[in-house]
Structure 1
Amino acid sequence: MRAKGIPVQQIILGLALLAGLCWNLAHASEINDLRVSAGATGTRAEIGLDTQVEYRILTLSNPERLVVDLPGVDPVRGLKLPAAAGLVKDVRTGHPVPGTTRVVFDLLAPVVALKPRFESGANGTRLVVEWPGDAIGDPIARIAAASANRPVAPADPQAGSASTTPPPPDPAIASAAATSRLVAATTAAARSSTQPTPAPLPAPVPQASGTIATGVPTRIATGVPTPVVDPKPAPVAAPAVTPPPLARRAGMRPLIVAIDAGHGGQDPGAIGKSGRREKDVTLAVSRELARQVNATPGLKAYLTRDKDVFIPLNRRAQLARAAKADIFVSIHADAAENRSASGASVYVLSLKGASSQRARWLADKENAADLIGGRMPQAGNTLASVLLDLTQSGHMKASEDAARHVLGSLGDVGNTRRVEHANFAVLRTSDMPAMLVETAFISNPTEERLLGDPAYQRKLAGAILRGVDTYFLRQPPPGTMYAARASAEQADSGAGGSP
């Protein structure tokens, strides 16, 4: 009986194992969650999975759609589809072929998605797809909309190679022309005020003035010499004409300040003795800095993140470039084993080594953020790396100038250290001045307490803004309010010096 029973047991056991294997294969992977959210960095879609799986991406037009095919994956029973958000107006699922689940994202505009990636978390693995710049008023949204209407767009990698449509006018040239017309009109108005029959003019004022958000008064000169009515009597100054507000002049673009809140998501950054996390401090200071920047005429803020999410270091620089930022400021809070270490520091990129052992250590620590976020460093293309170094080197002097202004302003808030150099991955922006600001030491109990105080955060943000404002006042980019103000002040200075 035993000899006859063994084969039967083996057959039963084999069938059970085969059934279990088939069940596991049939339920190897499931979509357990679908999410769509929108923020300052764009629209983010998350496909929740129990493990990393094979996937295929397909982009379709008319209407605009992004399709994700997941072979061997089934949606969990009762899977809830997310509501519309940002660029995504609808989400659908289906089965184009047996055994493959398809997720379709219906889009509002033809925006190219960033490369999908897997992120690991407490609830399993997520396949993340992101589209940059869907927020209302976001500069990336305007770039995307413009690229949809133009045959060729520099930021669109899928643009055609030829076009008969003339290129759009250069904003700097248009701004210069508009400024010249304004000065000519102001001069003509001032001359007409000396005639016997006065023309209708705005109420005369001795001099126009304005105040930017930093609280520093700024003269807005008319650029018109004081005319003399009669050479015999004492010279009488003609009433000055108030020029149109600089912010309203045609062709004038705002200077975009990219503000990067360090760390985020699964990367908490440094943690103070009382448990305060660096990622929370940097986000609070960055939001306050963005508020003050947006309150300053001629400036506009762009936040690389506006919530507690993890963004890879190279993605932060990519977002700033896509937003056409004029300067990049990454906000951090320092830490050291010595609890008494204190003060603010500002760092800029160096391609030839660090300026000190601490700068090298700090750069290595900050560059390891991608490892904490679950990303392995990727070996870059050698040619691309060389080109990046060449383009970045042209902005190093500008970065150091801006950093010194910011550090000087931070001295009004508390202790400061110095401007240092190291190879920070997040500062490899290639086409704009960039700096990393260590606002204070979160490892110092006193400074940790200050970093959590909204009043102190406002002071820190104000100091950083004053430094950025001073930098742009010293060397204003063409086509901006800062350039128009400098031109007007120069004309006023030249007029004041004539006999």
Structure 2
Amino acid sequence: MRFPGLRHSICPLAVWLVAALAPRAANASEIKQLRIETSATGTRAELHLDKAGPYRLIPLANPERLAVDFPGTQLAHGLALPASAGMVKGVRTGQPVPGTVRVVFDLAAKVQAIPTTLETTASGYTLVLEWPGDNPATAKVAVVPATPPPPSPDPIAEIARKPAPALVAADPHASTGAGPAVPTPAPALPAVVPRAARPALQPGMRPLVVAIDAGHGGQDPGAHGLNGAREKDVTLAIARELARQVNATPGLRAYLTRDTDVFIPLEYRARRASANKADIFLSIHADAAENRSARGSSVYVLSTRGASSQRARWLADKENAADVIGGGRVRVSDNTLTSVLLDLTQSGNMKASEDAADHVLGGLKRVGNNHKPDIERANFAVLRTSDKMPAMLVETAFISNPDEEKRLTDPAFQRTLAAAILDGIDTYFSRQPPPGTLYAARAQAAQPAAADAPARTGIGGSR
């Protein structure tokens, strides 16, 4: 189907109009590049521009398309259009009126795009369009292959490989290392179904979506280590490894808010997760302190009524400043009405966030010293828009500590951290399984085992 004004059908009149408007085009913004990428959770289109300007989204049906108009914009000379990928069957450009560029995305199915974002980059601006949905035929997962890692001499990695009742590393499908299991019998757990009898993922069951947010990115590097490690690189590596382990766990599916080195405003990170129907949101960071000996992990949840400690307040202020570094504007919500409304939207989610964060902190305790023994609370901007799911911010270790900086850049330690975090996620969903999921089916299958437990174990009375 041909559209009037497309590049392959420019008429003499259109050529004359373009020539007449040449002086105005000199000041127009320019679309320098078009890219399309696919992942396990959807399709992402990027339009790279040299200047920020207005744009308009035009959804079209029968057939399904999304047109984007850019007034006062022109295409870069020799711009190459990307090939079809994922939900996008094809890309075309045209000129509906002089001075306006139209980019048309032909879609494979009717799907609502995630709210667009205009990201600031070192070379200009990037308009990001995303369509959620599985693409099994074309998916290219932006994480390393799910192959078992080689044995590591790291003592913390050895701790992660020891079997525990709920430890993910003890599962054959999510092992973080090689070697035989320690032949120590586990205590009787009446409510646990033997693995061989556990139900498998069935048609109609929905996977639980784990949204993983790699902190910082793009022109916001985050904290720096003494040996040159950057927080944005460390968090992306850990996020990718966690996504790999999540995707290898039956009943779970990972969504990465970013899988490249790009800047995303804080308020859009949890919104992206919500648009992808996430069931839990984790923002991954690497802590820093003036005290170079500070070490260990911490887990934070949102608080709209003050921070739990001076350290938590300082950390929230530091993390919230990421939007200033990225060129965005920090929105201050200090007036009483705004605080009350935020409190109301978050109140139902606060308890779930605290429960989930407690389990993740418990997983991290098994692999190293936690910086804080309990979860902390502060007003983190990245968690404010997470009112539809449990959310937390995980400070994995101190990048300002030279020893922990070295570990944070070690793939073996990254696997260990990811396994510990996944342990907490798995425990949380096992104890509070959402309906229609594999975790709910397992909980239902465990009920007869729990009922028969006193006769089998010799324990009398009710639990």
Length-normalised TM-score, structure 1 = 0.69
Q: Which amino acid aligns with 1:60?
A: L
Name the structure 1 match of 2:433. Answer: 476
Please point out which of 334, 343, 347 is paired with 1:389. 343
Shift in Å, 1:457: 0.9
Structure 1 or 2, whichever has the larger Rg, is 1
Partner of 2:107: 107
**C-alpha distance in 2, partners of 1:435/1:125?**
29
The answer to whether the Cα contact below 8 Å between 2:265 and 2:326 also exists between their aligned partners in 1 is: yes
Cα distance between partner residues in 2 of 1:426 and 1:286: 16
Whether 1:73 and 2:73 are equivalent positions in the alignment is yes
Secondary structure, aligned partner of 1:459:
helix
- 1:169-195 Cα offsets, whole Å, 9 max, x none, are xxxxxxxxxxxxxxxxxxxxxxxxxxx
The answer (yes or no) to whether the contact 1:220–1:488 under 8 Å persists in 2 is no
Counterpart position of 1:343: 296
287-296 vs 451-460, which deviates more? Answer: 287-296
Cα offset for 1:437? 0.8
Contact 1:222/1:488, CA 8 A, preserved across alignment: no
Structure 1 residues 297-356: Cα deviation after superposition (integer angstroms, max 9, x where no partner):
333322222222222222221222223322222111001122121111110111101011
Secondary structure of residue in 1 paired with 2:274: helix
**Contact persistence 1:346–1:403 (CA under 8 A):** yes
> Does the aligned pair in 2 maintain the 1:265–1:308 contact within 8 Å?
yes
Task: State how far apart, in whole Å, the 2-side matches of 1:26 and 1:55 are.
Answer: 16
2:357 is equivalent to residue 403 of structure 1 = yes
Q: Supply the RMSD in Å over aligned alpha carbons.
A: 3.4
Distance (Å, rounded) in 1 between the aligned partners of 2:446 and 2:418: 28
Distance 1:212 1:279 in 2: 28
> What displacement does 1:466 show?
1.6
Paired with 1:136 and 1:27, the residues of 2 have a C-alpha distance of 41
2: CA distance, partners of 1:312 / 1:109: 29
Tell me which amino acid in the other structure corresponds to 1:422.
Answer: A
1:78-105 Cα shifts (integer Å, max 9, x gaps): 3322322333222222222333332222
1:371-450 map, 5 Å: 371-378=324-331, 388-418=342-372, 419-428=375-384, 429-450=386-407
Distance 1:433 1:245 in 2: 26
The structure-2 alpha-carbon separation of the partners of 1:416 and 1:223, relative to structure 1 and needing over 3 Å to count, comes to closer
Residue 303 of structure 1, aligned match among 234, 252, 256: 256
Q: Deviations over 1:378-420 (max 9, x none)?
A: 5789988755532421222222222222222212222212211
Q: 1:446 to 1:75 in 2, by over 3 A?
A: same
| Alpha-carbon offset, residue 427 of structure 1 | 1.8
| Among candidates 443, 446, 453, match of residue 486 of structure 1 | 443
CA contact (8 A) 1:34 1:45 kept: no
Residue 488 of structure 1 deviates from its aligned partner by 3.4
Deviates more, 1:31-40 or 1:376-385: 376-385
Say whether 1:215 aligns with 2:170: yes
Counterparts in 2 of 1:379 and 1:338: CA distance versus 1, 3 Å: closer
- 1:256 is displaced (CA, Å) by 2.5
1:362 maps to 2:315: yes
Q: Superposition pairs for residues 297-336 of structure 1, below 5 Å?
A: 297-336=250-289
Counterparts of 2:423 and 2:434, CA distance in 1: 17
Kept after mapping to 2: 8 A contact 1:43/1:88: yes
2:229 is the alignment partner of 1:276? yes
Conserved in 2, the CA contact under 8 Å of 1:441 and 1:447? yes
- Give 1:28's aligned residue: 27
Alpha-carbon distance in structure 1 between the residues aligned to 2:215 and 2:98: 44
Distance in 1, matches of 2:43 and 2:443, equals: 39
Query: Are the structure 2 counterparts of residues 362 and 493 from structure 1 closer, same or farther at C-alpha, using a change threshold of 3 Å?
Result: same
Q: For each residue in 1:3-33, what CA deviation from the matched residue of structure 2 results, as whole angstroms up to 9, or x when unmatched?
A: xxxxxxxxxxxxxxxxxxx975341114251
Q: CA deviation at 1:288?
A: 1.5
Contact 1:114 1:129 in 2 (8 A): no
Consecutive aligned runs of 4 or more in structure 1 exceeding 6 Å deviation: 216-224, 379-385
Q: Percent identity among equivalent residues?
A: 62
Q: Is the 8 A contact 1:34 1:82 kept in 2?
A: no
User: Is the Cα contact below 8 Å between 2:121 and 2:262 reproduced in 1?
Assistant: no
CA distance in structure 1 between the aligned counterparts of 2:114 and 2:232, rounded to whole angstroms? 24
Contact kept? 1:247, 1:481, Cα under 8 Å: yes
Given that residues 65 and 106 in structure 2 are in contact (C-alpha distance below 8 angstroms), is that contact kept between their aligned partners in structure 1? yes
| Preserved contact between residue 166 and residue 423 of structure 2 (Cα < 8 Å) | no
Cα pair 1:96 1:102 within 8 Å, conserved: yes
CA–CA separation in structure 2 for the residues paired with 1:134 and 1:38: 13
Q: In terms of mean alpha carbon deviation, does 382-391 or 406-415 score higher?
A: 382-391
Is the Cα contact below 8 Å between 1:348 and 1:435 reproduced in 2? yes
Cα deviation digits, residues 434-493 of structure 1 (max 9, x gap): 111100000111100000111111111111122222223333333333333334334223
Aligned residue pairs, count:
390
Does the residue aligned with 1:132 lie in a helix, a strand or coil? strand
Give the letter aligned to residue 102 of structure 2: R
Which whole-Å deviations, capped at 9, do the CAs of 1:111-155 have from their partners, x for residues lacking one?
Answer: 3334444434333344x04123255259xxxxxxxxxxxxxxxxx
Give me the whole-angstrom Cα distance separating, in 2, the residues matched to 1:489 and 1:82: 50
Q: In structure 1, give the amino acid aligned to 2:316.
A: A
Contact 1:389 1:430 in 2 (8 A): no
The one of the two structures with greater contact order (alpha-carbon pairs below 8 A, sep at least 6) is 2
Mind listing any 5+ residue stretches in structure 1 that lack a counterpart? 1-21, 139-209, 225-239
State the one-letter code of the partner of 2:344. Answer: L
Q: Which consecutive unaligned segments of at least 5 residues does structure 2 have?
A: 1-20, 138-164, 172-185
Instruction: Name the CA distance, whole Å, in 1 between partners of 2:192 and 2:218.
Output: 52
Shift of 1:262: 1.2
